[in-house]
Amino acid sequence: MLKAVLRKVPGKEKEKEKQFLEVWDQNRKVKSIDLTALDKHGSVYDDDQFGCLAWSHSETHLLYVAEKKRPKAESFFQSKAPELGTSDEDTGHPKKEDAPIKGEQFVYHEDWGETLSTRSVPVLCVLDIEGNSISVLEGIPEHLSPGQAFWSPEDTGVVFVGWWHDPFRLGLRHCTNRRSALFYVDLTGGRCELLSEDTRAVWSPRLSPDGCRIVYLENNVLGPHQQCSQLRMYDWYTKHTSTVLEAVPRQAWGAFPGIYCGALPGMCWAADSRRILLDTAQRSQQDVFVVDTATGTATSLTADSPKGSWSVLTIDRDLLVARFSTPSCPPMLKVAVLPAAGHEAQTQWICLQDAPPVPGISWGIRTLQPPPEQEHPQYGGLDFDAILMRPSEGPAGHKPPLVVMPHGGPHSVFTAGWMLYPAALCRVGFAVLLVNYRGSLGFGQDSVDSLPGNVGTQDVHDVQLCVERVLQEEMLDASRVALVGGSHGGFLACHLIGQFPDTYHACVVRNPVVNIASMVATTDIPDWCLTETGLPYKPDALPDPAQWTEMLHKSPIRYVDWVRAPVLLMLGEDDQRVPPKQGLEYYRALKARGVPTRLLWYPGNNHALAGVEAEADGFMNMALWLLKHLQC
């Protein structure tokens, strides 16, 4: 079996980056193709949102996604003086197809937002390995951006996900609610055919080994960015689409919780072309399930295994490889052979690569019920979880300080897996509380739907209730409590230090949402600002004064006058999701009120602050800020 590898070589000075596609046969490179020299398209996409490297079944053609080639452009007044020693003939007019278009140099090109700022107009490309030629597929409607493509059965065409980008592109990363559909483009006639509904959001299509069925995930358009997904299946030969698994309104104890995942595993089908493997959040854990597409039943493969966070890496001829970790144990590899249908509960996991637990960390999951006055009027009876990590070593009677971490999203979840920051803080001597407030994933779609319109109150009260309960029931120092959060977690942290100033004594926030009203016009996800505020989103509608007021009313900036805890802000200069002006707005408001404040500004970093230098510097500054202001 051949393997394709994309290799990028940085250009020197003003030269553009060079791109090569290498073909490997086991450990031997058999071919290297200079894509830059062929000049058929722009940069090849290597992200997991659009990108793919898919062999045809004959292994003679390779399918991938790249940026559409743009005509050369220059300003109206740009000119290049002839080089010395060149003749008039050398400096004659260039060929027509190479002539730059004047006045086009500074035209704005929309992109797909956070982490996808170089993705604007993707095209599907086919490389003929034997002929060393590239063709850009035609027939794809201009209002679609194609990606996640693979060859259809018998290599007659290409199946892909197409995202609508009319009237303009919105941020796509972590947004599984963008209008999209499954399409097939025929290679001979260029005909493009719709395979799924065109009013939904679909992604992650996977073709069965026998080439008969395609499974994919499907969500509602707009609404919460992350939801409980449906699992759908398209039969290639009957053209029939069925729903294998519906969204789950409420997660019952011991029952399948629903699908909450960014993507299906790249290889998820069992050898029988009937069952698929996936992992999903199940309250504050993550488990592996096998789904029988014929019966619509889901069976846990990890129910009798150690509790923690399981994720599928791949399955090949029923050999299953998974990753397992806990809050006190780094990831380890586990393998199992998938039993025959009906016997999946007998799965036996073998540890392939052991990772010893980190000493000195204990953890547990607790469930909380909001008081009656904080119940949601429409979604009553919802509960939520928190993961408490604490140092298991120390002198008798010692009360460690507490660091409270609400997650971002807000529709995300902390699962009981390895997380570097909480583990490191725990080893330093802090207890760490990870709160999965109502609205988190893994608790049913009702929990997700309960939060829009209630941000700044329901989520804030859930976190505060959890903190107060833990301080009452655990040996912790209530005089040394701090908050750490990013994005919506930063939104909650800023709310909490303003609404409950007596509880918290230090705060660290990364790219926090501070003022929804000022964010709506600058973010790549303006729909988030309205949806989470409880307002309708329409691309052509501008908020009216009442809606601006409501967004401001639900923002933490409203409570800045009551903040007393010292605040450390960490901002990414290139953040498109929560632009750094949000943090600057908060920084200036705190400085004007005499609150001890420090701001770290990271050039070249986006929302995640995931650059090596930024991450290392950010952790050290966070730890030192907490140690200083909690007087540890």
Q: Is the pLDDT of residue 79 over 70?
A: no
Average pLDDT over the chain, rounded to whole? 93
The residues assigned a catalytic role are 487, 575, 607
Q: In Å, what is the CA distance from 340 to each residue of 132, 346, 486, 625?
A: 44, 10, 44, 54
Strands 101-102 and 122-128: unpaired
* pLDDT for 568 beyond 60: yes
Residues 6+ apart with CB under 8 A from 405: 414, 422, 432, 433, 434, 435, 483, 484, 485, 489
Q: What is the per-residue pLDDT across 161-176, written as a single tens digit (0 to 9) for each?
A: 999 999 999 999 999 9
What is the reported pLDDT for 118? Answer: 95
* Higher per-residue confidence, 95 vs 589: 589
Question: Cα separation of 618 and 569, whole Å?
Answer: 10
What is the DSSP pairing of strand 506-510 with strand 567-572?
Answer: parallel
Is residue 63 within 8 A of residue 52, CB to CB? The reply is yes
What pLDDT shows up at residue 89? 46
Task: Specify whether the CB–CB gap between 257 and 282 falls below 8 A.
Answer: yes
Whether 510 and 609 have beta carbons less than 8 Å apart is answered as yes
Residue 110 contacts residue 165 (beta carbons within 8 Å): yes
Answer left, alpha or beta for residue 439, where phi above 0 means left and psi between -120 and 50 means alpha.
left
pLDDT at 282 (0 to 100): 95
Q: Quote the pTM value.
A: 0.94
pLDDT at 318 exceeding the cut of 90: yes
What is the sign, positive or negative, of the torsion defined by CA atoms of 308, 311, 316, 318? positive
Return d(Cα 433, Cα 497) in angstroms, integer. Answer: 16
Q: Residues 63-98, buried b or exposed e (16+ Cβ, 10 A)?
A: bbbbbeeeeeebeeeeeeeeeeeeeeeeeeeeeeee
Residues 234, 182: contact at Cβ < 8 Å? yes
Contact 74, 80 (CB under 8 A): no
Question: Where residue 90 falls among pLDDT bands split at 50, 70, 90?
Answer: very low
- pLDDT tens for residues 234-253? 999 999 999 999 999 998 87
Ranking 352-366, 421-435, 501-515, 562-576 by mean pLDDT, the lowest is: 352-366
CA gap 192, 184 in Å, rounded: 6
Specify which residues 147 forms β-bridges with: 161
Collapsed DSSP state (helix, strand, coil) of residue 28? strand
pLDDT at 87: 47
Residue 395 pLDDT = 75
pLDDT at 182 over 60: yes
Identify which of 42, 48, 45, 91 has the alpha carbon closest to the alpha carbon of residue 64.
45
Cα separation of 578 and 475, whole Å? Answer: 37
In angstroms, the Cα distances linking 118 to 46, 67, 150, 392, 459 are 11, 8, 22, 47, 34
**Mean pLDDT to the nearest integer, 120-144:** 94
pLDDT above 60 (res 301):
yes
Q: Residue 119 is encoded by which pair of tokens?
A: 């993705």
Tell me the percentage of the chain whose pLDDT exceeds 70. Answer: 96
For residues 566 and 595, give the distance between their C-alpha atoms in angstroms, rounded to a whole number: 6
Provide the terminal-to-terminal Cα distance of the chain, rounded to the nearest Å.
57
**Cα dist from 12 to 17, 37, 73, 558, 601, whole Å:** 8, 16, 22, 50, 28
Q: Phi and psi for 437 in degrees, rounded to 5?
A: -65, 165
pLDDT of residue 91: 44
Q: How much is the pLDDT for 535?
A: 97
Q: Residue 81: pLDDT above 60?
A: no
pLDDT band of 470, cuts 50, 70, 90:
very high
How do residues 326-375 score in pLDDT, each as one tens digit? 999 999 999 999 999 999 988 999 998 888 899 999 999 999 999 999 99
